[in-house]
Chain A
Amino acid sequence: MLTIENLTYAFEDNRPIFQNISIDVKAGEFVSVIGASGSGKSTLFKLITGLLDPDQGEIKINGNNSGSRLGKVGYMPQKDLLLSWRSVLENVLLPLEVSKKKSQLKIPEIREWLTRFGLAEVEKAYPDELSGGMRQRVAFLRTIMTGKDILLLDEPFGALDSLTKRNMHSWLLGLWGELQKTVLFITHDLEEAILLSDRIYLLGQETSREIKVSLPRPRKKELIYQSEFVTMRKELERLIQNEN
């Protein structure tokens, strides 16, 4: 679905922030990218979305590497970037307006989504009236409304407090089965990565290392207390230590 081959990128006059990165995401997978801050995670996303172009290597979306990548994937940046002058519903409609689809036709469907995201009651509210968790859910729904099959989520829960984060995890795990999307997820939270992902890529300077998470789905948030989970987490921590 999304294939990245031998990707190298450097900002002007600097040494590459990563070299020869290869990542492969299959349809319906939830894949996380972990790396220390400054390892170029966000840059990787900008390359995939087409905001930046790679120095070397290829990025294929649905097997296709020709033409502009802009508008091919759903991108959720670190900050929610909700428009303060638009209500929740209007914010969610933004991608449809941009792609010039008849947004009115979709309203009943969008209402369904809002309900599924627990946002039905705040449909007419403005972003400043929402809690942090709600804002992230609106931003996530907006990303889904792009209608793209691949979603790139850049630390979507990074700014939330740990309790809200937990709730968002269990909410997302519950939703995952019916979502039918492919997700590439940036985080520096190991627990989050293991809990949510099918596979994890450790992003280092020279290489990217792949780790499979073989925990069965559907998962619950209580999983984090089970011994398999803890072992996995220890292993991951060791690998990261080695990288550095």
Chain B
Amino acid sequence: MKINWKKWLGDYGLFLLASILILSGWEWIVRKGMIPSFILPSPSAIWLSLIENLQLLLAEHLPATLKEVLIGFGISLAGGLLVGVGMHFSRALEKVLYPFLVISQTIPMIAISPIFIMWFGYTIWSKIAVTILIAIFPIVVSTYDGLKTGGKEYKELLLTMGATRWTIFKKIQLPMALPSILSGLKMSVVYCVVGATIGEWLGASVGLGYFSRRMSGNLQADAVFAAIFLLSLMGIVLFLLISFIEKQLLKNIIRN
């Protein structure tokens, strides 16, 4: 596939320019000694720290966090879709679950996470639990709301053809909900990275969150930033991955 550079530059040129300006300004301020480097390390120091710790980060911490994110996202996806569809089909289930879902989002994650550590110990499951608690909400809501929007007129048309509720769900409501569901997934996958990091901050022996916390204790701000850089990169890559899947799936649903 040939990349259209002109278009690419048009889309991302300004962002690129702003990034370069910010990074240069940042580097200049730190080099001039206006801010001590243990408070705000310069971009070049972060880069050097990243290179220095790369072996450790890539071999040990990144895979650990990624594993938590992927398992957490997988369970959130399956559970979220199931609950969203279930709430669509059963009003009773909707009435019971919806308030709980909203309440679950008002709980400060940092406050409840230590309980997960108590329940699941320092195993991977305590981090996955935090991840799911954060990531399942957007999937459930986007699935449920997406299914609700599936036009009444289309539903009536299929009813006159003698369609069952399940057929209407399959032929009309699910395809129409897909854009909404995929938006939810994009949000959710980014939340997964946040959830896994919070989980690791509270108790872990491996992972990028754990690493950044340890380095923060050692006042090695450059290494903290290096870990954050990798976490953010992970979020971006996962987001782009879902965006790509979205484009493939929605090719014909949203045309033009």
Contacts and interface: CB of A to CB of B under 8 A. Distances in A.
A11 interface: no
A70 B160 CA distance: 5
B161 interface: yes
Interface in B155-195: 156-163, 167, 171-172, 175
Nearest to B253: A85
Contact of B161 (A83, A85, A94): A94
Interface in B198-248: none
Majority secondary structure, B binding face:
helix
A26 B63 CA distance: 73
Contacts of B255: 84-85, 126, 128
Interface string A67-95: 00011111101010101111000000011
Contacts, number: 60
Contact of A99 (B159, B162, B172): B162
A197 interface: no
A51 B159 CA distance: 8
Majority secondary structure, A binding face:
loop
Contacts of A49: 159-160
Given A71-B162, A73-B160, A98 B153 contact: no
B153 A146 contact: no
B256 interface: yes
B162 A98 contact: yes
Nearest to A51: B156
Interface residues of A, number: 25
Contact of A77 (B157, B163, B171, B252): B157
Nearest to A49: B160
Interface of B: 151, 153-154, 156-163, 167, 171-172, 175, 252-256
Interface of A: 46, 49-51, 70-75, 77, 79, 81, 83-86, 94-95, 97-99, 126, 128, 146
